[in-house]
Amino acid sequence: MASIDLSGAEWFKSSHSGSQSDCVEVAWLSEGSVGIRDSKNPTGPALMFTPGQWDAFTAHVIDGKFNGPS
């Protein structure tokens, strides 16, 4: 994925986060890409996903594929 300028990105947390400070923030970026960063380190690195990668990730989360051992 090409480099994306994050300076104008509008980051947000899930409404389920409440007032917790230890959260993941998401930003919708150019060309449908998605950025994810740690809210405790907003100037630190961010992960970038293509639209297809984001769709696959969220589908696995919904399906419970990332749950720990039972």
Q: How far apart are CA 64 and CA 66, in angstroms?
A: 5
| Cross-strand partners of 12 | 26
List the chain domain ranges: 22-62
Per-residue pLDDT, 30: 84
Please state, in angstroms and rounded to a whole number, the distance separating the CA atoms of residues 27 and 70. 32
pLDDT of residue 34: 94
Supply the pTM of this predicted model: 0.74
Contacts of 18 by beta carbon, 8 Å cutoff, 6+ apart: none
Mean of the pLDDT values across residues 8-15?
A: 87
Question: DSSP string covering 11-55, please?
Answer: -B--GGGTT-SS-EEEEE-GGG-EEEEETT-TTS--EEE-HHHHH
Tens digit of pLDDT for each residue in 18-61? 666 678 899 999 888 999 999 889 888 999 999 999 999 999 98
- Of the two residues 53 and 6, the one the predictor is more confident about is 53
